[in-house]
Structure formats: C-alpha cells, structure tokens
C-alpha cells in the first residue's frame, strides 16, 4: 500500500469501514469522494483546509472529488457541535459566501478536476411526499441520540423540528451523489453515518466514512471556528497568517504540523526550540496557502519587527486631528471606542515610536507629538503612522 497507508493514517481519526475502503482503493476504479460544506461564512479556515488537503491527496491518485456546497442546508444550519439553534442565514448571504469558497478551495484542490455541486439542485425540486418517504427511513429516537441534541435536552434548550431534519438531508445528499466515501471532521460522524444507513436502506452500496482529527483554534482550547474568533483564514495576508501561527500555544505545534503540513514529525522534533519550530510551521503553512516567495517575505517581515525591533516595512499613514492618545486610537481605527482605547492603554497594550525611540504609553491623558509623524503600535502587529 505504501503511500496509501500514509494517506489513510495521517491526521485520520477513524475510517468506517476501513477494510471496505482499502478494497475499493485496491480495485483501481475511480472513487467518488464527497465533501460537503455549508457556506455560512465567507472564509475557509485552516480547520477546513485539513479536510481539503486530505481530499487533494486522493485527487492526486486519480479519484473524483465532489465539492458539495450546501446552499440549501445552510438555510437550516448544521446543529453539529452547537449548544443552541444556529441563526438562519439570508439566501443572498449564502450565495455570496459560496462564490468565495471555490476560489479559496482552489488553493488546495484542482477545481478543474473537481465536481462542484449545490444541494439546492435537488431539494428545490423535491416534493413533500418524496421528503416524507426519505424521513420514514429514520426514527426520532435515533436522531436524538446524537450528542448535540442529547446535551441540549439535558440543559432544557430548544431543538427546533427542522434541526432534526438536517442529518436526513445530509444523508440524502450522499444518495443523490452516489458517494463511495465521505470525508468530514469528527463532529460530522453522526451525519455521515446517517448517509451510510440511508444508502443501505435505498439499496445502494453504502459509503465509507473517514473522520479527520479536529484542528484546535489559536486559543488552544476550542475547535477552530470563525464565530469564536480563534481561526486563521487560508486567504488571510501572508504576514497576518505568519504572525498568528507564531502566537499559538506551544502545545499546538505538533498537531498543526500533523494536520496542516506534509512535514515529517520526527524531523520537526529534531528542532529543539519551540520558537524555531513555530517559525518552520508558519513558513510551511504560508507556503501552502500562498507560495514560497510570500512565505519568505512574511518570515522576513516578522523577523524585522520581532527580532530586530524595527517597524514594519509598510505602515499605513493616517491624518488625524487630535493629539490625545485616546482620541488617536479611535481616529486611526486601532480602537473601536474610547472605552476600548482606555482599556488598551491601561493594560499596557499601546506603544509609541518617535524618532527611533520606543516608549510604552501608560497614561490615558498622554499627548502625542503629531508634528514628528510618530508610529502608534497596538499589541504586537498593529502599526499606524500619524500626521496632521
């Protein structure tokens, strides 16, 4: 099996049924790998990229990747991992998000060789009688067994009736697409197994299911998620991406190498310094999401600011009226309000660079010498030069 064995193990949590999948792969026939995503946000982050990278490995072996945009199911909202009902999205917002997804997915998949589908193709044409026939293949008890629903029942939280239909709809997607394999995160296991069961009941060869390990967000605590703000978007500026990766907790270094790169872990362990490991990690991820030249530039810019203690090579310039630090932070957009500006100053998060001298601003009443065109710094990566 060689390379196949590596593909079936790296970053993979579970395969159901592994023997079946290995037999299919050995048959040398082109398999249909299904991956579904609801366009509920405009950005694809590294957590989703973990799945796309695994799909790309199978695509390179000659298999067909089905990139399913859940533009219909997105109007319901996947209850997976949710402790409350997800908000219903506007169809226009869903369509706009869907447009950005293909461009971002194209950073990893060969879109020209990918079968792109939308589940509105069949659900907008489906009659009520057809839908009820599909629902008859499931019991309410089985659907409510899933952890998300069970936890919400214990907490007395609402479960809307249409949320129960989500696994049914995702399962039927597999029937329509005649999927051989479905790939998703561990939080999608229930939905993907529902597809496997429905295919059996409808007389089809059931899809095999591959669950991938979940990528923890930059906070080091919870699953990477845009709603939690602990994500790194794959289309973010190389410098921002590099900086965010350099800021992750040390405990995430090895899992990120495993899930987000092709680097051999034994070689990474030879690098003793966590800082150097992160630098290699940041370089590899930026190279994958952008290219090697951008990775080199991002690395040089990061070192310029944090190793050499110099200002960024490119800094936005803002014309301001006030010289008071609280007003300046709001005028330049470094703070959203005066209360946030005060908090930033009081917490020691604001610095000033004047004529190559750096000072930390600790007094909210500080006046800034605008005539010297100083640089205001907030946190580690936000810089603005001000002038009148």
Using CA atoms, how far apart are residues 375 and 373, in angstroms rounded to an integer?
7
From the CB of residue 308, how many other CB atoms can be counted at a distance below 10 Å? Answer: 8
pLDDT single digits (tens) 183-238: 999 988 989 999 999 999 999 999 999 999 999 999 999 999 877 889 999 999 99
Are 212 and 184 contacting, i.e. CB atoms less than 8 angstroms apart? yes
At a CB cut-off of 8 Å and minimum separation 6, what does 317 contact? Answer: 384, 385, 386, 387
86 — pLDDT class (breaks 50, 70, 90): low
On average, the pLDDT of the chain sits at: 88
What confidence score (pLDDT) does residue 77 get? 60
What confidence score (pLDDT) does residue 88 get? 62
265 — pLDDT class (breaks 50, 70, 90): very high
pLDDT single digits (tens) 57-69: 999 999 999 999 9
User: Could you tell me whether strands 181-185 and 64-69 are parallel, antiparallel, or unpaired per DSSP bridges?
Assistant: unpaired
Can you give the C-alpha Rg of the chain in angstroms?
Answer: 25
78 — pLDDT class (breaks 50, 70, 90): low
381 — pLDDT class (breaks 50, 70, 90): confident
pTM for the whole thing?
Answer: 0.81
CA distances from 194 to 35, 112, 198, 209, 299 (A): 15, 30, 6, 10, 45
Cis status, amide bond into 385, omega within 30 of 0: no
CA of residue 320 relative to chain centroid, distance: 37
The DSSP code for 233 is B
Choose between 266 and 359: higher pLDDT: 266
Are 180 and 188 contacting, i.e. CB atoms less than 8 angstroms apart? no
Least confident range from 63-77, 164-178, 184-198, 313-327: namely 313-327
pLDDT single digits (tens) 93-105: 888 888 888 889 9
Phi-psi region of 198 (alpha: psi -120 to 50; beta: other; left: phi over 0): alpha
What confidence score (pLDDT) does residue 147 get? 67
1 — pLDDT class (breaks 50, 70, 90): very low
Q: Does the pLDDT of residue 314 top 80, yes or no?
A: no
Q: Where are the alpha helices (DSSP H) in the chain?
A: 3-7, 18-26, 46-60, 91-105, 120-123, 128-135, 140-144, 147-155, 161-164, 166-177, 189-201, 238-246, 253-260, 265-269, 274-289, 292-306, 325-331, 338-346
Q: Does the pLDDT of residue 2 top 60, yes or no?
A: no
CA distances from 84 to 77, 167, 279 (A): 11, 16, 38
């Amino acid at each position: 099996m060689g390379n196949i064995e590596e593909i079936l193990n790296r970053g993979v949590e579970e395969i159901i049924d592994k023997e079946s999948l290995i037999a299919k792969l050995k048959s040398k026939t082109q398999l249909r790998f299904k991956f579904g995503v609801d366009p509920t946000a405009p950005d694809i982050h590294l957590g989703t990229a973990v799945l796309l990278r695994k799909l790309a490995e199978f695509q390179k072996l000659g298999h067909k990747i089905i990139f399913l945009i859940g533009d219909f199911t997105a109007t319901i909202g996947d209850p997976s991992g949710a402790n409350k009902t997800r908000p219903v999205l506007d169809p226009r917002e869903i369509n706009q998000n869907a447009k950005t997804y293909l461009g971002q997915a194209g950073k990893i998949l060969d879109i020209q060789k990918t079968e792109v589908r939308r589940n509105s193709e069949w659900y907008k044409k489906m009659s009520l009688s057809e839908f009820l026939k599909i629902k008859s293949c499931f019991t309410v008890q089985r659907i409510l067994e899933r952890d998300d629903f069970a936890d919400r029942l214990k907490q007395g939280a609402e479960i809307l009736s249409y949320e129960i239909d989500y696994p049914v709809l995702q399962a039927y997607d597999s029937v329509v697409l005649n999927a051989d394999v479905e790939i998703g995160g561990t939080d999608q296991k229930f939905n993907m197994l529902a597809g496997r069961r429905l295919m059996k009941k409808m007389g089809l060869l059931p899809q095999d299911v591959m669950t991938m390990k979940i990528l923890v967000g930059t906070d080091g605590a919870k699953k990477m998620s845009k709603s939690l703000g602990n994500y790194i978007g794959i289309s973010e500026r190389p410098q921002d991406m590099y900086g965010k990766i350099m800021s992750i907790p040390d405990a995430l270094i090895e899992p990120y190498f495993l899930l987000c790169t092709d680097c051999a872990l034994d070689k990474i362990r030879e690098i003793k310094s966590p800082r150097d490991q992160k630098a290699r990690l940041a370089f590899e991820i930026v190279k994958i999401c952008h290219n090697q030249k951008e990775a080199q530039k991002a690395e040089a810019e990061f070192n310029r600011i944090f190793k050499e203690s110099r200002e960024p090579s490119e800094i936005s310039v803002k014309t301001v009226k006030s010289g008071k630090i609280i007003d300046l932070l709001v005028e330049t957009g470094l703070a959203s309000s005066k209360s946030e500006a005060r908090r930033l100053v009081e917490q020691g998060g604001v610095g000033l660079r004047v004529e190559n001298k750096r000072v930390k601003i600790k007094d909210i009443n500080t006046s800034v010498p605008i005539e010297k065109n100083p640089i205001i710094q907030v946190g580690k990566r936000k810089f603005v030069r001000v002038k009148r």
